[in-house]
Structure 1
Amino acid sequence: MLVLGTFTLATTLAAAACSQRSGPDTAPSLSSVPPPVTTTPAAPVLPPDPQPVAAGPCPYLATDFVANANGQRVSKVKLSADRPHPSCFFYDRAGKLQLTVRVYVGEPAVATALVDHAAPVDSSNPATEPPGWQGGYQQTGEGAVYAVAKQGAAIVVTTDQMQTVKARTVAKEAISALGL
């Protein structure tokens, strides 16, 4: 019996030693296999916020239209350096910024990201005007925003008024005037 027990013990130890040996013919252990790499597309880089740099008329919105749509007289208009479609900044009689229209034409992912930055999908109401455009609108701490994109174009209108309909009216007019 002692011989049989010794033989069983020796066989068990040999089998255990063989199973722990690693060499060129053995498969790597699961812990040495790197996990599969998953990549997600990088978020698009947003262009910097436009800045008013020069006085002049907005090339796609009449000052009288903006005054009527936003409910305030316009004392001056400034434009950004963006080309071919500058952003337009409309000021009230006291010299305070009352309405801004930002136009972007380029990469569809950037247009969508600009709209989502201005009116985040998670917190804004869905905007679908004019037909074919999508985005959001909401009140902000300073007024309201209406932002929509279609393909590679985006329009973002901010106003110091709390009624989003004013921003929407201006956005629709800008889109129409630009032929987007």
Structure 2
Amino acid sequence: MRRLVLLAPAVALLAGCAPTIVAGTATPSPPSASTAAGGELPPDPQPGATEDCPYLDKEFVAESNGQHVSKVRVSADQPHPACFFYRPDGKVQLTVRVYVGDAKTATALVNKAAPVDTSNPASDPSGWKGGYQSTDDGAVYAVAKGTAAVIATTNQKQSVKARTVVKKAIAALKL
């Protein structure tokens, strides 16, 4: 009983040391796996408007990926939206994401898509570096150069299809 009496003031004192949330202040969020040198990566693009991809022709994609393209949707990202190419059953067959910003984020996006530890090294086109690999759903080819990154994911297991599309996007955008 005596110990309780002695501990009561200490417990009361410590209770006042608990963190206080003040209205109007941001609460810290847990660390994210998607950080680039301490900063957050841009969110994954989402399909938006149904319209042509500004840097890839749907006939080229159909020929390169080996599937008919029934529809193309683009994200709201500017100035280079991500392009989503759909097959006739309504499922996405190929996606191309273009990022232009800072070099650390470009590299981090490539490493997120094709992690260095699990992917094969990629260096095509010349001067671009990244990786490619098969995934459960197909394949990915992702490369960065300076402040730019281009990432293609395909529902096909052959990464050469994604590489062909990436090279065409880089050439069309003059990156």
Instruction: Bin the TM-score by the shorter chain.
Output: 0.7 to 0.9
The alpha carbon displacement at 1:43 in A equals 3.2
Amino acid at match of 1:137: Y
Q: Does 1:72 align with 2:49?
A: no
Aligned-partner SS, 1:54: coil
Give 2:90's aligned residue. Answer: 95
Give 1:117's aligned residue. Answer: 112
Whole-Å separation in 2 of the counterparts to 1:168 and 1:47 = 23
Q: Is the 8 A contact 2:50 2:73 kept in 1?
A: yes
Identity %: 66
Which is higher, the Rg of structure 1 or of structure 2? 1
Amino acid at match of 1:171: V
- Contiguous gaps of at least 5 residues in structure 1: 1-40
C-alpha offsets along residues 59-103 of structure 1, whole Å, 9 cap, x if unaligned?
000000000000000000000000000000000011110000000
Q: Does 1:166 align with 2:161?
A: yes
Change (3 A) 1:109 1:139: same
Give 2:78's aligned residue. Answer: 83
- How many residue pairs are counted as aligned between the two chains? 140
The alpha carbon displacement at 1:45 in A equals 1.6
TM superposition score normalised by structure 1: 0.77
1:1-150 equivalences under 5 Å are 42-150=37-145
Pairwise CA RMSD: 1.0
- Contiguous gaps of at least 5 residues in structure 2: 1-35
Q: Structure 1: which 4+ aligned runs deviate by more than 4 Å?
A: none
Aligned-partner SS, 1:55: coil
